[in-house]
Structure 1
Amino acid sequence: MIKNNYLLTLIFTFCSIAGWTQDKRPNVILILVDDLGFSDIEPYGASEIHTPNLKELASQGTRFQEFYNNSICAPTRASLLTGQYAHRAGLGYFNVNLGLPAYQGFLNKESPTLAEVLKKAGYSTMISGKWHVGDDYDQWPAQRGFERSFNFVGGASNFYEINDSTQATVPLYKNNKPFYLPKDRYLTDEITDQAIGFLKEQHQEKKPFFLYLAFNAPHWPLQAPEEEIQKYQRTYNVGWDSLRIKRYESAIEQGVFPSNQAITAQDTLIQKWKKLTYDEQQYWQRRQQVFAGMIDRVDQSIGKIRQTLKELKVDDNTIIIFMSDNGAQGGDRARIYTTRNAGPVGSAGSYDVQNSNWSQTGNSPLRSYKDNPYEGGIGAPFIVWYPKEVKANTIKKGTGHLIDIAPTLYDYAQAKYPNSNYGVVTHTLPGVSLRTLLSTDQKQLDRPQALFWERAGNRAVRYGKWKLVSIYRNGNKAELYDIDTDRAENHNLAAQYPQVVAQLEELYKEWAKDNDVVNYDRIKIQSSFR
């Protein structure tokens, strides 16, 4: 009997080496979109925007009411790709080097990327889309674990190339070599098709894959194919005042916002829709049509990716995760880059941005915008689809965070997180695996530790039902909110619960020390020159 077992072990080992056994670990597609508000897709309240593929992923998968990001592009991507708080990974401010380890502007070696860990675990690793966590050549995706890469390096890119020559407005790279987007080619489509090409190539390798699909839509500049824009003709003549209420009601119907909670208070800096002239209303409707068209095209792209999975017969063993890097972009109409515009909004050569008026609708029913630690800045859609294990048509209360993605994927992939990387000792992972939560009837994540944020002097702590917020421009005066009853952050309870404020402030100080967070005044002068 012992001899027979020994023989079977030898046969299994030989077959594994020879590639005769099938690796049954799941494939992973991690989809990140850019500047998408909490209620900017159908499963979270945007009933007027056509996102049938995301709607299906949500109905067949699990959504979170509360899933947190880092409020802005580069810090979010740093946490997502490493499982670390952004400061710990080296991007505590942005992708600019401010001379301190926590603010060096690129991923440090102590923080292995998802690609580096999964590659060592036997996965094929691919990226298509936006990078934004290291500008220099040695910091690019191909140098941080991605075997196949199609990307632009920085934070924003035109969706159309307006030149016929090889003088790219925003350079693209494929496997480290310059890539030139053909004129009239829409970048979202190119990102999608490059990803599909990678999937088909990888399929010949007979091993699981990890695809990081990082769309830059619907980040500015607001550009979309005209046929997508025209789908939403007259959709937005109701205006932002009415639509934000409709989105709030829809979010409640969808189950992603509590039915017993109020919408966030109206932003008093936004002009009332009915006060606009007819021409102004037409102008702002067009801008939101473009924004909706950008989201619509992303959803179509997700449909193409899913169709490819079916054609390759790997759809039943692929995890799909969808999220946004932050809430919708705030700001007023003074931010319109009129000197850079070379056409009407939406067209190639135009360079318009999203503003607070429509973005309050995008983030409805939550408060504030991108780059702020209020819920509208750090709260975003989060969908996980994996019918083999993840509960269907289920909503979890949260509180999930970017730092949980790495341990979750390593759990599914049976990947060992390394003790060292490039010859240096790695940072330990602060997050938790969401796998049990996703596969059981457990209602919410029972996280024993607090969650923390700091970005340009703005701070926040989430611990249980309590959330502490302090805004730099307001002198970091403490604000306290009970998220279980007031996720819209309408009622500051700091004066009523000074002991809670003191407890959360002490937790923040400990976290800031452990993560090399410095007072914003120390780096403010340098960052202002970037």
Structure 2
Amino acid sequence: MTWQRDFRFRLRNSTGLLAAAFLILTGSLIAADRPNVIVIMADDIGAEGLACYGSTIYTTPHLDQMAAEGVRFNNAYATPLCTPTRVMIMSGLYPNRTGYRSLIGKGKGIRLVPDIRTFAHDFRDAGYATAIAGKWQLGKFDEYPQQPVQHGFDEYCMWTWIYEGKKASRYYGPQIYREDTIINGAPEDFGPDDYREFVLDFIDRKKDEPFFFYFPMALVHSPFINPPALKERSESKFTDDLDKQTRAFGHMITYMDQVVGDILSKLKEHNLEENTLVLFTGDNGTHKSITSKLPDLDIKGGKGSMTEAGSRVPLLAWWPAKVKPGVRDEFFCLVDVLPTIQSIAGIELDREVDGMDLSHLIMGGEGTDRERVLINYGRGYFVREERFRLNQDGNLYDIPITSDASRYSETITTDAAHEADRNRLQAILDDFMAIEAQYDEKASSGGKKKQPSKM
């Protein structure tokens, strides 16, 4: 009968709708249980570059808000230069494990080898949408166009760095590589705006599913230029003795801060701040030509040097719904980012890494703290504890973390009373230096991978 056919049709249709609704609801619940993660890494900024770390001349209201509402790490460390930190943060492996100890070469065939697994691989395999924007500089896109995808990122919007033999602009008139396409910006176009818009659009499109975004920013690396807006805000705390270069650098910091603020606003627009962890950090210390100011202390940038100013970077963790605000004095090294964020996201780590899971410092609860920081850059090494730092050259620095004046003093001690500390740190440093790079040949020349170390 007609009514029976109609009833059966309506029943089948209702069952389908109920099933679909159940799947949508289940998917939403699963997504709600899986936090989004955004890792933002500024280029060339030491901890002294942010107001929340004591800067008296730079204006960073959005990052200050992140610090007030989240966790500010007082003792976070990177390597002193770009490439080793970028590989380290993505892989969770020390530079002397991967072979990427210094600035990556520009010769033919040089790239981040695909053998090295990154946090993007892990998040993508766990069902996350993954993306990257900004600065890659771990291989040329005209030689290896699929690098971001091969390293775990579904989508990308990158400064090209060097393309067809020419170095491109990262700022005005940028050259950008996006989804297999080269985009040459107009002279008035500002690259950081393109990267920002890509991040915001990605959040708009992926707001209903778990996502992972890695944002290695182009800012605030040299050349020091004035961005297209926020000049008055940036100059609000400038002193009369700042040179033109430092003023431009401060303007770039404020613009960078606004980009971060726009991302936080976008998350709030979609009510995603309740389910999104945002980390902000830097890849190394500030450029040596810049002198920043803390109360009663001027700090010359330490980029490229095995010093406190070369390696101490800002690290902020923001997740209003989950993170108890405060300042952490425990050590954190950027090698710890991968195991920490994957632990927070509930992603099982199926391999050994050098980094530690320090999620308890962000989320609260019990966990093992990092007792010391180990840094490798080029053929240099150091081990840093709460009071002392021992460098590979044998210099023992008495630089307690109790104040900025003491930590940045770079005071060398030869006091015989510290000989036991020297010997203890030397043994730790010797063990660290003994780590054999598994990828040295590929890192330097694109050759075959070495056999893994037995350590």
- Normalised to the residue count of structure 2, the TM-score between the two structures is 0.81
* Residues 431-473 of structure 1, C-alpha deviations (whole Å, 9 max, x = no match): 222221223388x97325x432222333211245431124xxx
* Alpha-carbon distance in structure 1 between the residues aligned to 2:342 and 2:301: 34
Match of 2:31 among 5, 19, 23: 23
Partner of 2:12: none
Partner of 2:220: 218
Partner of 2:3: none
Q: Aligned pairs, how many?
A: 411
| Structure 1 contact 90–106 (Cα < 8 Å) conserved | no
Matches within 5 A, 1:74-113: 74-96=83-105, 106-113=111-118
* Alpha-carbon distance in structure 2 between the residues aligned to 1:296 and 1:482: 30
Cα 1:186–1:161 change in 2 (3 A) is closer
Letter in 2 for 1:400: F
Q: CA RMSD in A?
A: 3.3
Cα 1:500–1:391 change in 2 (3 A) is same
Cα 1:227–1:108 change in 2 (3 A) is closer
Cα 1:137–1:500 change in 2 (3 A) is same
Partner of 2:6: none
Partner of 1:172: 176
Matches within 5 A, 1:223-302: 223-225=225-227, 227-232=229-234, 236-239=238-241, 284=243, 286-302=244-260
Q: Alpha-carbon deviation of 1:158?
A: 3.0
* Alpha-carbon distance in structure 2 between the residues aligned to 1:317 and 1:181: 35
Partner of 1:481: 398
Match of 1:418 among 350, 353, 356: 350
Cα 1:385–1:160 change in 2 (3 A) is closer
| Structure 1 contact 228–294 (Cα < 8 Å) conserved | no
* Residues 42-89 of structure 1, C-alpha deviations (whole Å, 9 max, x = no match): 211224433211111111001011000011111111111111112323
Q: Secondary structure at the match of 1:137?
A: coil
Are 1:491 and 2:411 counterparts?
yes
Partner of 1:126: 131
Partner of 2:72: 63
| Structure 1 contact 127–211 (Cα < 8 Å) conserved | yes
More strand by share: 2
Letter in 2 for 1:480: Y
Q: Secondary structure at the match of 1:31?
A: strand
* Residues 318-352 of structure 1, C-alpha deviations (whole Å, 9 max, x = no match): 1111111111111xxxxxxxxxxxxxxxxxxxxxx
Cα 1:514–1:363 change in 2 (3 A) is farther
| Structure 2 contact 120–212 (Cα < 8 Å) conserved | yes
Cα 1:238–1:505 change in 2 (3 A) is same
Q: Secondary structure at the match of 2:422?
A: helix
Cα 1:461–1:360 change in 2 (3 A) is farther
* Alpha-carbon distance in structure 2 between the residues aligned to 1:430 and 1:67: 16
Letter in 1 for 2:125: K
Match of 1:440 among 359, 364, 374: 364
| Structure 1 contact 130–152 (Cα < 8 Å) conserved | yes
Are 1:152 and 2:72 counterparts?
no
Q: Alpha-carbon deviation of 1:235?
A: 5.0
Cα 1:209–1:289 change in 2 (3 A) is same
Q: Secondary structure at the match of 1:397?
A: strand
Q: Alpha-carbon deviation of 1:362?
A: 12
* Residues 219-250 of structure 1, C-alpha deviations (whole Å, 9 max, x = no match): 1011223543354558544426xxxxxxxxxx
Cα 1:433–1:105 change in 2 (3 A) is farther
Matches within 5 A, 1:128-143: 128-135=133-140, 136-137=143-144, 140-143=147-150
Letter in 2 for 1:412: I
Letter in 2 for 1:373: M
Structure 2 unaligned residues grouped into runs of 5+: 1-18, 445-455
| Structure 1 contact 57–384 (Cα < 8 Å) conserved | yes
489-498 vs 109-118, greater mean Cα deviation: 489-498
Q: Alpha-carbon deviation of 1:365?
A: 6.3
* Alpha-carbon distance in structure 1 between the residues aligned to 2:105 and 2:66: 36
Letter in 2 for 1:150: C
- Normalised to the residue count of structure 1, the TM-score between the two structures is 0.70
Q: Secondary structure at the match of 2:279?
A: strand
Q: Alpha-carbon deviation of 1:514?
A: 1.7
Partner of 1:321: 279
| Structure 2 contact 160–168 (Cα < 8 Å) conserved | no
Letter in 2 for 1:56: Q
* Alpha-carbon distance in structure 2 between the residues aligned to 1:454 and 1:317: 35
Q: Secondary structure at the match of 2:423?
A: helix
Q: Secondary structure at the match of 2:407?
A: coil
* Alpha-carbon distance in structure 1 between the residues aligned to 2:203 and 2:391: 43
Partner of 1:336: none
Partner of 1:467: 389
* Alpha-carbon distance in structure 2 between the residues aligned to 1:505 and 1:153: 42
| Structure 2 contact 46–301 (Cα < 8 Å) conserved | no
Partner of 2:450: none
* Alpha-carbon distance in structure 1 between the residues aligned to 2:339 and 2:415: 38
Letter in 1 for 2:124: K
Letter in 1 for 2:260: I
Matches within 5 A, 1:400-411: 400-411=332-343
User: What percentage of residue pairs aligned between the two structures are identical?
Assistant: 24
Q: Alpha-carbon deviation of 1:493?
A: 2.2
289-298 vs 218-227, greater mean Cα deviation: 218-227
Structure 1 unaligned residues grouped into runs of 5+: 1-10, 163-169, 241-283, 331-354, 420-427, 471-475, 524-530
Q: Alpha-carbon deviation of 1:140?
A: 2.0
| Structure 2 contact 396–413 (Cα < 8 Å) conserved | yes
Are 1:514 and 2:440 counterparts?
no
* Alpha-carbon distance in structure 1 between the residues aligned to 2:30 and 2:347: 17
Q: Alpha-carbon deviation of 1:360?
A: 7.2
Q: Secondary structure at the match of 2:156?
A: strand
Cα 1:234–1:207 change in 2 (3 A) is closer
Q: Alpha-carbon deviation of 1:137?
A: 0.9
Partner of 1:249: none
